[in-house]
Amino acid sequence: MGTFYVVRHAKAGSRGHWSGDDRLRPLSKKGFKQAASLVGILEPVPVTAIFSSPYRRCVQTVEPLARVRELPIKESPNLAEGHGLAGAMDFMGNPKLDHVVLSTHGDIVWELVEELVKRKVVKPGEGGFEKGSTWVVDVDKGSFVRARFIPAP
């Protein structure tokens, strides 16, 4: 069984106020504080790897954690916006991975929550998907076993 920490990227600057490539949109001041808080939130768990969407805001969300844990951030397009839950399942379905952080986007976290509800792992309304929040998901042989929600700091 593997445990995954699915993190929705922290608060970023507004899409409407960003004129450049959306993949380069950085975290806001609040987002950087949320990213720093993730270190304490995950302090009791033995993180073994950190994967992130290549979007700047996702990478920045896990940079403080990576520094403290002395782990590289491995960027993966499978965690990028628009890749759906199937992209994240490439990691969560891998029996060799355990205690892995996945930094991703709202659309993927939304699909994850929908799937957890559908499979009766969590009840509707039990947890959410706001920026900076984390889902701790236990997966066994590609199936969701348990999940708990950690609200955004």
Tell me the per-residue pLDDT of 91-145, one tens digit each, with 9 for 90 and over.
Answer: 999 999 999 999 999 999 999 999 999 999 999 988 888 999 999 999 999 899 9
Q: How many CB atoms lie within 10 A of CB 79?
A: 25
- Place 148 in a pLDDT band, splitting at 50, 70 and 90: very high
Supply the pLDDT for residue 18. Answer: 63
CA distance 145 to 69: 27
CATH number of 2-16+38-145: 3.40.50.1240
- 21 burial level (CB within 10 Å; 0-12, 13-18, 19+): exposed
Q: In a 3-state reduction of DSSP, which class is residue 54?
A: coil
> Reading across the β-sheet that carries 134-140, which strands appear in turn?
73-75, 49-52, 100-104, 2-8, 134-140, 143-150
CA distance 89 to 79: 9
Domain locations along the chain: 2-16+38-145
Q: Tell me the pLDDT tens digit for each residue of 7-56.
A: 999 999 766 666 677 688 899 999 999 999 999 999 999 999 999 999 99
pTM: 0.95
Supply the pLDDT for residue 15. Answer: 66
Supply the pLDDT for residue 13. Answer: 74
Supply the pLDDT for residue 16. Answer: 63
Q: Tell me the pLDDT tens digit for each residue of 66-96.
A: 999 999 999 999 999 999 999 999 999 999 9
